[in-house]
Structure formats: C-alpha cells, structure tokens
Structure 1
Amino acid sequence: MKGKLAQLDTVLYFAVFTPSPKHWWRIIALAFSKSGNGGLYILLALVCALFFEQLGQQFALTAILAFAIERPLYFYLKKRIARVRPCDCYALKALLTPADKFSLPSGHSAGAWLYAVCIVEHLSVHWWLLFTWAAGVSLSRVVIGVHYPLDVVVGALMGICCASLSIFLVGML
C-alpha cells in the first residue's frame, strides 16, 4: 500500500508541477506561498489583539496556542519521517529554495489552515475566502516544486486539528 500511495503522490506531483518558471500559475503560486511565510500571521494577531478588544485577544490567544501545539509536532514529524523533497529527488529546480530538506508535512499548509480556522472561529470573516486562501497556499507548495500533494494534505489536516484543539482549549477558559 505504501508503495502505491507514494507512486500516486509522485504522479500527482508531476501533474501539477511544471519546471518552467514563466508559467503564470507559478508566479501566482509563488505569491500564495510567500503569503504563508508566517510574518503576516504575527502582524495580524497583534493588530487584532490591539484593535478588536476581547474578540481579537481571544483570536490571538487561540492562534498562539494552536501554533504552540503545531510547531513542535511539525518539527518532530518532519525529522521523524524525513521524506526528501521532490525538487531534491528528481533534480528539478523549484521556484524557490526551501528552508529545510524534508517535505512531509508541509509547514506552510499547516500554518495557513491553522490560521484560517482560527480566524473563521473568532472574527466575522467569510469562511470561503480564508479557506480558498489556505488551499491556495497549500497547492502553491506543489506548483512551485517543494512538496508532494500528500505533504500538503497532511499539513492541512494537521493545521485544522491543531486549530480545533486550541479553539476547544481556549473555549474552556
């Protein structure tokens, strides 16, 4: 089963990834990917905590707790699984240089989905807009060549679960 899943994952990767940097969807994917780098998360949490009073502070607390759960899990899984990135396996140049050498799970996907779920829970924002952005961040990581599809699916599920646990824990306070 493991071999078939890896084979399917590789086929899907090559269906989405294009080595030419001139395709318009790779430029859009790079923008989505950069929007999930993390700096925006910190800035938005601070702005919400300062200007949206109790609701913004609850959001910031929930997001901080969710990341405090997600980051150690992410680093543990990344090192434990040690799946080599597709751009390193197939000698194909990715659109950017990843921060580390392993691909599973996708930290960008985890962070984007975690943040989107936390925002939707606490602030009056249209869920479909944020979930579309999170899906764009996730898909972008495959399009630019640094993740397999399974990496971003696992990352997304991890982010959603960490956000949900954080929402539950903060709700108990």
Structure 2
Amino acid sequence: MKAQIIKLDTALYFALYKPKRRKWFNWLMLMLSKSGNGGLYVILALLNAYFMGKVGNTFVQTVLLAFTIERPLYFLLKKYFARVRPCDCLAVKAMLTPSDKFSMPSGHSAGAWLYATCLMEVYPVLTIPLCVWAAGVSLSRVLVGVHYPIDVILGALMGSGCAMLAIGMLGDL
C-alpha cells in the first residue's frame, strides 16, 4: 500500500512539475511560493496589532500560539519522515533552492494554511481569497519542483489544524 501511494504521489509530481512552462507562469509560481516565506506574516500581524486594536492583538496572540504548536511538530515530522525532496532524488532541477533536504511536510503549506485560517477567523469575508492564496502557495511548491503533492497536503492539514487548535485554546477572535 505504501509503495502504491509513493508511486501515485511521484506520478502526480511529474504530471504537475513542468519547468518548461511559460516564463510568466513560472514567475507567478515563484512569487506565490515566496509569499509563503514568512515575511508577509510578520507585516500583516504588525498591521493587525496596530490598526485593529484588541482584535488585532488577539489575532497576533493566536498566530504566535499556532506557530508555537506548528513549528516543533513540523521539525519532528521532517525528521521522522526524512523524505528526500523530488529535486534531489528524481534527477530533476527545481526552480529554486530549498532551505533543507527533506520535503515532508511542506513548511510553506503549513504556514500559509495556518495564517490563512487565523485570518479567516478575523475576516470571514476574505475566506475565498485566503483559501485561494494558501492553495496557491501549496500548489506552487510542487510546481517549482521542491515538494511532492502529499507533502503539501500534509502541510496544509497540519497548518490549518494547528490554527484551529490555537483558536480553540484562546477562544474566538
């Protein structure tokens, strides 16, 4: 069963990863991927804290708690799975250089879904654009060649789960 899942995941990776796409598309995927690097999270948290008063401060506390839960889990799972990135074992070159050697789970996917879930709690009207953005960050990680599809799915589940746990622990935003 495990071998079949890995085979399917690899087939999906090759179906999605096509580095010879149009330049504008590759640029867009790189930008989406980079939007999940973390700098945007800090800027938005500071803006929320400054402009949104108590709700903004509660949002920042929730995000900090969610990341406090997610980061150790992320590092633990990376070490546990120790899954080599597709760009390092399938003789394909990624469009960017990953920050570490293991791929599962995707930290960018986890972070994007964590942050989007917390933002949706504060700004429910933004649910659709936030889901599109988080899904775009996740998909971009496969499309730039540094993750398998299962990596980003696990990351998305982990990030949104950690956000929901933090929201539940601190109460509604």
Query: Normalized against structure 1, the TM-score is what?
Result: 0.96
Tell me whether 1:88 sits opposite 2:88 in the alignment.
yes
Size of the alignment, in residue pairs?
173
Q: Is the 1:85–1:103 Cα contact (8 Å) retained in structure 2?
A: yes
Tell me, in whole angstroms, the C-alpha distance in 1 between the residues paired with 2:25 and 2:3: 30
Tell me the equivalent position of 1:46: 46
1:55 corresponds in structure 2 to 55
The equivalent residue for 1:161 is: 161
- CA shift, 1:47, in A, is 1.2
8 Å contact kept, 1:110–1:157: yes
Q: Which moved more, 1:86-95 or 1:16-25?
A: 16-25
Q: Which runs of 5+ in 1 are unaligned?
A: none
- Structure 2: stretches of 5+ with no match in the other structure: none
CA contact (8 A) 2:95 2:144 kept: yes
For 1:146 and 1:14, how far apart are their aligned partners in 2? 12
Distance 1:154 1:120 in 2: 20
Moved over 4 A (4+): none
> Partner of 2:25 in structure 1?
25
Deviation at 1:43? 1.2
Aligned to 1:99: 99
Given that 1:117 and 1:163 are in contact with CA atoms closer than 8 Å, whether structure 2 keeps it comes out as yes
Question: In 1, Cα distance between the equivalents of 2:53 and 2:170?
Answer: 16
1:86–1:146 Cα contact (<8 Å) kept: yes
Cα separation, 2, equivalents of 1:124 and 1:105 = 27
RMSD of the alignment, in Å? 1.5
Contact 1:119-1:125 within 8 A present in 2 as well: no
Kindly provide the CA deviation profile for residues 64-86 of structure 1, in whole angstroms up to 9, marking residues without a partner as x.
10000000000110011100000
User: Residues 118-129 of structure 1 correspond to what in structure 2 (within 5 A)?
Assistant: 118-129=118-129
1:115 correspondence with 2:115:
yes
Letter in 2 for 1:78: K
Looking at structure 1, the residues matched to 169 and 38 of structure 2 have their Cα atoms a distance apart, in angstroms, of 23
Q: Which amino acid aligns with 1:120?
A: M
Give the alignment's TM-score, normalised by structure 2: 0.96
For 1:9-20, what aligned pairs fall within 5 Å after superposition? 9-20=9-20
Question: Counterparts of 1:55 and 1:94 in 2: how far apart (Å)?
Answer: 40
- Aligned-residue offset at 1:22: 4.6
Deviation at 1:23, TM superposition (A): 4.2
CA distance in 1, matches of 2:137, 2:71: 18
In 2, distance between residues paired with 1:140 and 1:117? 19
